Amino acid sequence: MIETEITTILPELRAALSPERVIADPDVTISYSRDMMPLAPSGRPLAVVLPLNTAEVAEVVRICAAAGVPIVPRGAGSGLTGAANAVDGAVTMVMTKMNSILEIDEPNRLAVVQPGVVNLDLRKAVESRGLFYAPDPSSYDWCTIGGNLSTNAGGLCCVKYGVTTDAVLGLEVVLASGEILRTGRRTVKGVAGYDLTKLFVGSEGTLCIITEATLALRPKPAAPVTLVAAFASAEDAGDAVSGAVAAGLVPSLLEIMDATCIKAVEAKTGVELLGGGETPAAILLGQSDAGGAAGRTEMDLLEQVCLGARATFAYVTADLAEGRMLLQARRDVLPSLELLGTWLTDDVSVPRTQIAALIAACEAISEEVGLTIGVVGHAGDGNMHPTIVYDASDAVQTQAAERAFGLMLDAGRALGGTVTGEHGIGRIKQGFLAAEIGELGIDVHRKIKNALDPQGLFNPGSMFRS
């Protein structure tokens, strides 16, 4: 039935956009079927549309609503939960052609952008004006702002600057009715009515389609001072993180890599991060963008905290090339693990005092399932990304990877954490969300969904089951 509806509305879609931006060839549409989460279910889009502006988005929504055809919004496909995965019989709306930076307002430190703008392109554009867009997911060189908004993405700088929602002043969205709604404001303060902006950020395309965002900018930070510290155990690294928090330090980033990740990066890059010798159990990478003497002082204090937590090596540098090399090593973790097999990265946040306990739990799970698990993450805010490496062609290993994925989420919750810090729920963590927020929490979610999308046509099956 749905296939018939798609065939019926294709002429309408082509009239609303243009024939070349409405794709129905299955050999092409299949390439839009999934994001980077290998275990999340996906369907086959029967049509892919690429709008250029809000009016086109609204018209596509109206056409699909009249025919009862679902819509799955999609950005660059860098997501890690299946939230952008296609649904059988649906239209996949790809937002990447809506990629204009509409305004950079320097006096008010804000930017207005379309959802297809690449995160790094926005950062470069505002940095040329002496400004800074803070959210920086690891895929920032190709992920889009719309995807960041839909998942409430985080990044390496979250410890100081927060996640995506902390940088959003307002949105323009298309509702399931095809109506266009503006939320939020351009002012620094504003508490008029419910905070619909924060409701839509992180809603994974289940409540609306975001077509424009007003984003808060910051003054461009000073050149960073960088610290690297090595530890003989994850417990010692965890003590250093706790010590930094207790000392009141708020670095611009504080990252952790375990031995598995360190070895993988060194093998891929051919660079020994600490100049050779025995691989430590964990390293911490810290940066301060406070500027000048203040940045050096902050990292010197962090160095003393690390040494007090039994670091076997600690080094602070103001050299930009060294700092970039160390930070690039952190960003290279997933591509490096990919050389060992298919990677499946998890996303679990725990209290910062429980980081070592989570790493220990991941080591135990690795032994239990017989697969390699490397742990990397944002130590400054407790958001860890344990990553499983397995052979996707081996059904036994695939099943073991899926089991490990769930066991790590359970371990995080048992330590007082949450099943996602920045990747979202998508189509892979629905049961874990229900376990975390309870039956009443899911019921409230459904009521909000039903109020805004009574036909259930926006990204059905993502986040929770209707």
CATH number for position 89: 3.30.43.10
What beta strand segments (E) does 392-457 contain? none
CATH number for position 409: 3.40.462.10
List phi, psi (to 5°) of 256.
-130, 145
Task: Tell me what pLDDT residue 174 has.
Answer: 98
Task: Tell me what pLDDT residue 1 has.
Answer: 39
CA distance 282 to 360: 12
Asked if 143 and 211 sit in the same domain, the reply is yes
Asked if 269 and 124 sit in the same domain, the reply is no
Name the domain count of the chain. 4
Task: Tell me what pLDDT residue 376 has.
Answer: 96
Under 8 Å between Cβ of 95 and 174: no
Q: Which of 49, 71, 94 is the last residue of a domain?
A: 94
Asked if 235 and 365 sit in the same domain, the reply is yes
Task: Tell me what pLDDT residue 14 has.
Answer: 96
Determine the Cα angle at 335 with ends 333 and 338, to 5°: 105
Task: Tell me what pLDDT residue 121 has.
Answer: 98
CATH number for position 149: 3.30.465.10
Asked if 271 and 403 sit in the same domain, the reply is yes
On whether residue 423 sits in a domain, the answer given is no
Residue 288, strand partner residues: 225
Which of 132, 128, 131, 155 lies closest to 143 in space, CA to CA?
155
Asked if 288 and 408 sit in the same domain, the reply is yes
On whether residue 434 sits in a domain, the answer given is yes
Q: Which of 186, 219, 252 is the last residue of a domain?
A: 219
Per-residue tens of pLDDT for the chain, all 466 residues:
345 455 689 999 999 999 999 999 999 999 999 999 999 999 999 899 999 999 999 999 999 999 999 999 999 999 999 999 999 999 999 999 999 999 999 999 999 999 999 999 999 999 999 999 999 998 889 999 999 999 999 988 989 999 999 999 999 999 999 999 999 999 999 999 999 999 999 999 999 999 999 999 999 999 999 999 999 999 999 999 999 999 999 999 999 999 999 999 999 998 888 877 889 999 999 999 999 899 999 999 999 999 999 999 999 999 999 999 999 999 899 899 989 999 999 999 999 999 999 999 999 999 999 999 999 999 999 999 999 999 999 999 999 999 999 999 999 999 999 999 999 999 999 999 999 999 999 999 999 999 999 999 999 999 988 7
Asked if 272 and 194 sit in the same domain, the reply is no
Task: Tell me what pLDDT residue 6 has.
Answer: 57
Q: Which of 94, 119, 134 is the last residue of a domain?
A: 94
Q: What is the dihedral of CA 210, 212, 216, 220, to 10 degrees?
A: 110
What beta strand segments (E) does 43-144 contain? 47-49, 71-74, 91-94, 101-105, 110-113, 131-132
Asked if 107 and 79 sit in the same domain, the reply is no
Asked if 121 and 198 sit in the same domain, the reply is yes
Asked if 337 and 397 sit in the same domain, the reply is yes
Asked if 385 and 258 sit in the same domain, the reply is yes
Asked if 367 and 239 sit in the same domain, the reply is yes
Task: Tell me what pLDDT residue 273 has.
Answer: 84
Asked if 122 and 261 sit in the same domain, the reply is no
Task: Tell me what pLDDT residue 7 has.
Answer: 67
Q: Which residues have CB under 8 Å from 408's CB, separation 6+?
A: 346, 348, 358, 361, 362, 365, 373, 386
Residue corresponding to tokens 């952190």: 330
Task: Tell me what pLDDT residue 109 has.
Answer: 98
Task: Tell me what pLDDT residue 262 has.
Answer: 95
**What domain range is 447 assigned to?**
430-466
